[in-house]
Amino acid sequence: MNTDAPAPMERWNTLPWKHLQRNVFKLQTRIYRAACRGDVTTVRMLQRLLMHSWSAKLLAVRKVTQDNQGKKTPGVDGVKSLTPPQRLTLARTLTLDGMAAPVRRVWLPKPSTPELRPLGIPTLHDRAGQALVKSALEPEWEARFAPHSYGFRPGRSCQDAIEAIFTAIGHKAKYVLDADIEKCFDRIDQTARLTKVHTSPSLHRQLQAWLKAGVLDQGTLFPTDTGSMQGGNLSPLLACSALHGLEAHIGKTFPRSGSRRFQTPNVVVYADDLVILHEDRTVVERCQAVVSEWLREMGLALKPSKTRITHTLDVAEGTPGFDFLGFQIRQYPVGKTKSGKDCRGRLHGFKTRITPSPTAMQRHVEALRKTIDRHRHAEQEALINGSTTRCMQGCGDGLSPVIPRKRNIGLRANTGEWTMDTAGASNLQTGRSLWHATTTPHTSAM
C-alpha cells in the first residue's frame, strides 16, 4: 500500500478513483478477516496503515466534499465548498492529532411531531477525519455486529429488517414489543461508549476529542458531556456499536430449549428502534424489563409514549399489528383458500400483510404536494418528468419489499392490498457482510 502523496502537478479530476477504491477495499477486507479470527494485534496494525493511506485520505475527502448529501453544509468555520486544489490540500494535511473544532447546532423538524431534532455539523476537516476513521473501524465492527442489526450498515437497509420480521412471524402469530430508545444520540454515556469501542489509544483520544468538542448554538458554546455528534459521518457507527450486545444478552437470558419447545425471542434492531417477537406474552414482558436494565448501563431508557406490547393477529382492545420503519405489519384471519401452510401442510388460519403505514403515506403525499406547489408555474410535462417523478421514485424505492396485488393502481397503492414480496426482494437475509469471503467463516471471537 502506497501511503505517499502524489506530485504537486497531480490533478483532482484525473486521479485513478477505481484504483484508490480497490486499495482501500483490500485493506478493509484484511481488517474484517483479522477481526473474524480474533487477531486484535493485526486489526490495530491494519487500521493504522489504512488511516495513513493516501488512497483512504483521498476517498474520505471526496466523500465529504462531493458524495454526501450535506456536502455544502458549513461548520463553525463557515467553509461549505472546496475547489479541486483545495481538496488535494485537505487530503495532504489530513491528520488525526487528537484535536477537534466545535460543531454547529442545526434544528430540524421531526416528521409528524412538533419536536425538533438537534444536529451537530462538524467542520469539513473534522468530517473528513471522521470519514477516514469510519473506513478503518467499520470492517472490524461488521465482523462483530449481531446478524439482525440493520441500522446504517453497509449492504443493509430497512427493507432487510422488514423481511426479517416477515420471516419471524410468517408461520406463527406472535406478541410484539415495539420499542423506541428515548433521545439515543443525546443521552448516551460517552465513557461507556468509548469503553465498548475499545480501540487504540491514539484513536481513543481522537474519538474523545470529537465527543467533547462542544456545540455552538446561536453564538453560544455549550459543553457536550453526554451524547454524541449527531450529524457527523461517524455518529451512526458509534451508535450501533454502543447498542451492540443487546441481541446476544436477550439470547443468553432466554436460551433455546428443545425439550421444552422454547424458542429464543426474535430481536430486530434498526438504530434506536427495535422490536422483539415471541409467542408468549410473559416472555415479551420480561424482555422489556431486560432491555430497560441493559440500556440503563449506557445511560439510556425506553420512550414510554412509543413503547407498547401488542399482538400481530388478535388483541382484546385496539388494533392488532404495529408500525415499524414506515411499514404497517399485521396479520388477518382468512379461510383455507387464502391461508398459508407449514412444512406439514397444516393451515395457519391467517395471512401476513405488510403495507405502507398511513403516516408514511401521508408524509409522501405532503412531500409531493409541496413539490407541486414550488413548481406551480412550470410546464406540466417538465413537472411530471422532473421533480414529481423523482419524488415518486423515491417513495417506490422505499416500498420495494411490498408489491400491490392490483398492479394497475400504481402510486395509489394505499387503496389496494399489499403483500410481502419474498421472491423478488433484492437483499436476502444471507447474514454476510460486505467484506465477507467464502474462505472465512462469519464468526467473531472478539
Look at residues 135, 100, 138, 105 and name the one whose alpha carbon lies nearest to residue 120. Answer: 105
What is the rounded distance in angstroms from the CA atom of residue 197 to the CA atom of residue 6? Answer: 33
Give CA separation, 14 vs 19, 71, 222, in Å: 12, 21, 43
Which of 101-105, 383-387, 421-425 has the least mean pLDDT?
Answer: 421-425
Beta strands in 63-187 (DSSP E): 103-109, 116-121, 175-180
In Å, the largest CA–CA distance within the chain is: 74
Which has more confidence, 420 or 108? 108
Backbone conformation region of residue 227, classed left if phi is above 0, alpha if psi is from -120 to 50, else beta: left
Q: Residue 421: how many CB atoms within 10 A of its CB?
A: 16
Amino acid at 335: G
Question: What one-character DSSP code corresponds to residue 410?
Answer: T
For the ranges 17-31, 301-315, 365-379, the maximum mean pLDDT occurs at 17-31
* pLDDT band at residue 3 under the 50/70/90 scheme: low
Q: Give residue-wise pLDDT tens across range 23-47.
A: 999 999 999 999 999 999 999 999 9
3-state secondary structure of 394: helix
> Strands 175-180, 103-109: parallel, antiparallel or unpaired by DSSP?
unpaired
SS3 for 61-78 is HHHHHHHCCCCCCCCCCC
Q: Which tens digits make up the pLDDT trace of 209-231?
A: 998 888 888 888 888 887 777 77
Q: Give per-residue pLDDT as tens, 147-174.
A: 888 988 888 888 889 989 998 998 889 9
Q: What is the C-alpha end-to-end distance of the chain, expressed in Å? A: 26
Cell of 413: 397503492
What span, in angstroms and rounded, lies between the C-alpha atoms of 262 and 264? 7
> Could you give the CA distance from residue 296 to residue 302 in angstroms, rounded to a whole number?
9
Joined grid coordinates for residue 229 = 455528534
Residue 174: the pLDDT is: 92
What does DSSP say about strands 103-109 and 215-217: parallel, antiparallel, or unpaired?
parallel
User: In this structure, are strands 322-324 and 327-333 parallel, antiparallel, or unpaired?
Assistant: antiparallel
Amino acid at 24: V
Q: Say whether pLDDT at 252 is over 70.
A: yes
**Alpha carbon 260 to its chain's center:** 36
* b/e code 340-366 from CB counts within 10 Å (16+ = b): eeeeeeeebebbbbbbbbeebbebbee
How confident is the prediction for the chain on average, in pLDDT? 82
Q: Which residues of 195-221 are buried (b: 16+ CB within 10 A; e: fewer)?
A: eebebbeebeebbbbbbebbbbbeeee
Cα 147–chain centre separation = 13
Sign of the Cα torsion 152, 158, 162, 167 reads negative
If you average pLDDT over residues 273-282, what whole number do you get? 92
Determine the pLDDT at residue 5: 53
Beta pairing partners, 15: none
DSSP-assigned letter for residue 420: E
**Cα distance between residue 235 and residue 119, in whole Å:** 11
Identify the pLDDT of residue 346.
Answer: 84
β-pair type (116-121, 215-217): unpaired
**pTM listed for this prediction:** 0.82
Average pLDDT score over residue span 195-214: 89
Mean pLDDT of 189-193: 84
Given a contact cutoff of 8 angstroms between Cβ atoms, the answer to whether 63 and 20 are in contact is: no
- What pLDDT score was predicted for residue 446? 40
